[in-house]
A and B are shown apart, each in its own frame.
Chain A
Amino acid sequence: MRFITQSSIFIISFRLIIGGILVFASLDKISAPGEFARDIAHYHILPLGTENLLALVLPWLELTVGIGLILGVFITGASILSMAMLGMFIIAIGSAILRGYNIECGCGLKEGEMVGVGKIIEDSIYFFLAWLIYKRRGNWFEILPKVG
């Protein structure tokens, strides 16, 4: 993996890919938080109607983290949060599949996309790319430099 984490081309490409996906996925959710809240509710994971709180904050987190990755701002924090969000999506989709739910994913990338193993594999690949960004060995095109 070292040759990837040492390669500016790879890391910048991964930042643009993950950043672009997060920004794109956030747009529909930001424009219609009510619909996104219902998508979250269909997973039957969150208690006490808290899906609305998540529906208000998560899309903006996706957007700001995505912009951060693209522009090179707080890349370490952005990559950790990317992994956290993608991990959360993988667990949520996995639990829906295990419980036999046939529901819309609410992922924001494609209209009417349903939960499924394919979606878990897709998110796992994104998770891996975010992890490679986190493990990068250079500060290429970063406005705020890597910490530590």
Chain B
Amino acid sequence: MKRIFIQNSLFQILIFLIISVVIGFGSNWLRDDPIPLFAVKLKIPTTDDLLSDIVTESVLRAIGLDQARKFHNEDVVFVDARDLEYYEEGHIPGAWNSNDFMELIFRLDSLQGKDRSIVTYCDGDDCGSSEDLAYDLKNEGFTRIFIFVGGWSEWQQAGYSIEK
């Protein structure tokens, strides 16, 4: 009796799993914007990427502290992806807040168009909001987006100036 119960339970679980796998992969295949079956790591920028002012292909790139510092010195726009309360407690000097996304894209577009560099950051390499923001900006047509992976934590630890 127990064996039949286990067999029937496994059969039911298998049916749910098969349906989910088939519909999950099938619907992704039919989507206009399918995702790859395996996630692709963020691209590390090459020297050409960093030297070029304009890129035609919209690809997100991960940068470290040194490159972030260099961009900051070059007055590249930094966008803080953390919640407003954290932003107000302290942020990278000159960084914009992303709380109002529509206002953010309007300001970015008005200031520099969609093909100039933008750096997004959040708490550090364990947070995800900088990457989410970067994807949102990419979806809005911005092409040259860099994600400062170490983010606010690494910037502070390095002893660089901050703004409140």
Stretch at the interface among B4-12, B102-110, B156-164: B4-12
| Size of A's binding interface in residues, CB under 8 A | 41
Chain B residue numbers with a CB within 8 Å of A147 are 4-5, 8-9, 12
B35:A37 contact, CB within 8 angstroms: yes
Main secondary structure of the interface of B (DSSP, over half): helix
B37:A60 contact, CB within 8 angstroms: no
Say yes or no: is B74 at the interface (Cβ < 8 Å to chain A): no
Our count of residue pairs bridging A and B at CB distance below 8 angstroms stands at: 111
Say yes or no: is A51 at the interface (Cβ < 8 Å to chain B): yes
Say yes or no: is B127 at the interface (Cβ < 8 Å to chain A): yes
A77:B16 contact, CB within 8 angstroms: yes
Main secondary structure of the interface of A (DSSP, over half): helix
Contact of B33 among A34, A39, A44 (CB under 8 A): A34
Which of B16, B17, B21, B23 has the most A CB atoms < 10 Å from its CB? B16
Chain B residue numbers with a CB within 8 Å of A72 are none
| Size of B's binding interface in residues, CB under 8 A | 36
A60:B35 contact, CB within 8 angstroms: no
B39:A64 contact, CB within 8 angstroms: no
Chain A residue numbers with a CB within 8 Å of B19 are 60, 64
Q: Which residues of B contact A (CB under 8 A)?
A: 1-2, 4-5, 8-9, 11-13, 15-17, 19-21, 23-25, 27-28, 33, 35-41, 123, 126-129, 131-132, 135
Can you pick out 16 interface pairs between chain A and chain B where the beta carbons lie within 8 Å of each other? A30-B27, A38-B135, A49-B41, A52-B35, A52-B39, A53-B38, A59-B24, A60-B24, A61-B16, A77-B12, A78-B12, A80-B9, A100-B126, A101-B126, A104-B128, A148-B1
Q: Which residues of A contact B (CB under 8 A)?
A: 30, 33-35, 37-39, 41-42, 44, 48-53, 55-61, 63-65, 68, 74, 76-78, 80-81, 99-104, 147-148
